[in-house]
A = this chain, B = another copy of it.
Amino acid sequence: MARVVVDVMPKPEILDPQGKAVLGALPRLGFSGVTDVRQGKRFELEIAGEVTAEVLAEVEKMAETLLSNPVIENFAVHVEDDVTPAAGSPA
């Protein structure tokens, strides 16, 4: 079992109201030093069997047709060791 991650982010030129909302809230909560925040989506796909070049190509097609809107979003695909992000630990 392998895990392939698809990260989908708004294109840089696209306004990101959610990111701006987070950016605006940080100083009110006493946080400083953050100059910009962008918010996107993260998909974790569990793949049966090995992740071959064909499987990666198929995931790219899924990302392009189903998981992202290529007009306003960029996506990046990478294979991840089967590690579940434990609560509060830097990965």
Contact = CB atoms under 8 A, between A and B. Distances in A.
Interface of A: 1, 7-9, 11-12, 19, 22, 25-26, 29, 31, 33-49, 55-56, 58, 60-67, 70, 74-78, 84-91
B41 A42 contact: yes
Q: How many copies does the complex hold?
A: 2
18 contacts: A8-B42, A11-B87, A22-B66, A29-B65, A31-B61, A33-B49, A34-B46, A34-B48, A35-B47, A36-B45, A37-B46, A40-B42, A40-B44, A60-B88, A64-B88, A74-B87, A75-B87, A78-B91
A91 to B, nearest CB: 4
A35 B3 CA distance: 10
